[in-house]
């Protein structure tokens, strides 16, 4: 019997308009009512995932920052990036003049002005104070180096792709981190976590067998959670290379694929 459903956010639970369909909301509520824990698992911070969870049910949980933080069924844990690694990344951000964000649960420091990519301030009114994120722009690298903060995720974005790639090549050599590279940005988290490792830690905390975990996602950073899941499900809109790694493929995120997966692969099986 499945006891935990882990659902990615962008490209999975959210459709291409950034909306949760009524079908997805209903299916998640059904799973919760059946006694199954349901957690959003995302690279996004708490202030964003909580806004989504509030649209569905207060019973939901979340694993955020690509596994850097989780709060599931009252259990909470963080996996910060080693301080030396964060300091080196800050130095590289200055060297290559790349817009870089250093984030923890309540703080985000950006080395430049933000071009409207991140809009955390918009969520403050609908976010509990303990999960609100204060955003600071054009922060001097020296301040980041001196700041006594544990960073859960670092993300670098830059229009100058050549500079971004040069920085990424150097960051990849740093010990103690895990990096995900994309065409126009890269993300860094602690080597001690990933979506999969965080789910394993959650299961240890809650006494859940990994065989009783369902993971639903659409992209390459979901592969670590697919690897630990008892049942792995990819969205139809996922790359073929991702779909080849899972047990089942559901409908696309514009077709309420999460609802289809929960209703047909989880609830129907348990009935």
Secondary structure string (H, E, C) spanning 195-245: HHHHHHHHHHHHCCCHHHEEEEECCHHHHHHHHHCCEEEECCCCCHHHHCC
Which pLDDT tens digit goes with each residue over 9-63? 999 999 999 999 999 999 999 999 999 999 999 999 998 899 899 999 999 999 9
* Domains, in order of start, for the chain: 4-78+193-270 (3.40.50.1000), 83-190 (3.30.1240.10)
- Residue 48: φ, ψ to 5°: -85, -50
Q: Please give the average per-residue pLDDT across 159-184, as a whole number.
A: 96
For residue 253, the surrounding DSSP H or E stretch is none
Structure tokens at 211: 């065989």
Mean pLDDT (whole number) for 164-169: 98
The pLDDT value given to residue 148? 72
Looking at residue 116, what is its pLDDT? 62
pTM, whole model, 2 decimals?
0.91
> pLDDT (tens digit, 9 = 90+) per residue, 203-217?
999 999 999 999 999
Q: What pLDDT is recorded for position 76? A: 94
**Cα 27 from Cα 256, distance rounded (Å):** 10
């Amino acid at each position: 019997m499945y006891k935990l459903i882990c659902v990615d956010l962008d490209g999975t639970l959210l459709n291409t308009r950034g909306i949760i369909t009524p079908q997805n909301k209903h299916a998640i509520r059904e799973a919760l009512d059946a006694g199954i824990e349901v957690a959003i698992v995302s690279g996004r911070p708490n202030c964003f995932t909580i806004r989504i969870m509030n649209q569905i049910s207060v019973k939901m949980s979340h694993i955020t920052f690509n596994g850097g933080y989780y709060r599931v069924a009252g259990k909470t844990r963080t996996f910060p990036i080693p301080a030396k690694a964060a300091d080196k990344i800050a130095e590289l951000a200055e060297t290559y003049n790349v817009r870089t964000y250093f984030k923890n649960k309540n703080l985000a420091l950006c080395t430049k002005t933000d071009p409207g990519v991140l809009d955390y301030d918009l969520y403050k009114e609908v976010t509990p104070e303990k999960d609100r994120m204060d955003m600071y722009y054009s922060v001097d690298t020296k301040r980041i180096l001196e700041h006594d903060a544990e960073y859960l995720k670092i993300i670098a974005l830059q229009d100058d792709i050549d500079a971004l790639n040069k920085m990424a090549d150097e960051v990849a050599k740093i010990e103690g981190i895990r990096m995900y590279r994309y065409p126009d940005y890269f993300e860094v988290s602690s080597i001690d976590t990933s979506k999969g490792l965080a789910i394993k830690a959650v299961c240890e905390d809650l006494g859940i067998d990994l065989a009783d975990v369902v993971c639903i996602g659409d992209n390459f950073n979901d592969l670590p959670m697919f690897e630990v899941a008892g049942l792995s499900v990819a969205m139809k809109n996922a790359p073929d290379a991702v779909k080849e790694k899972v047990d089942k493929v559901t409908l696309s995120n514009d077709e309420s694929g999460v609802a289809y997966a929960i209703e047909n692969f989880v609830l129907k099986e348990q009935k």
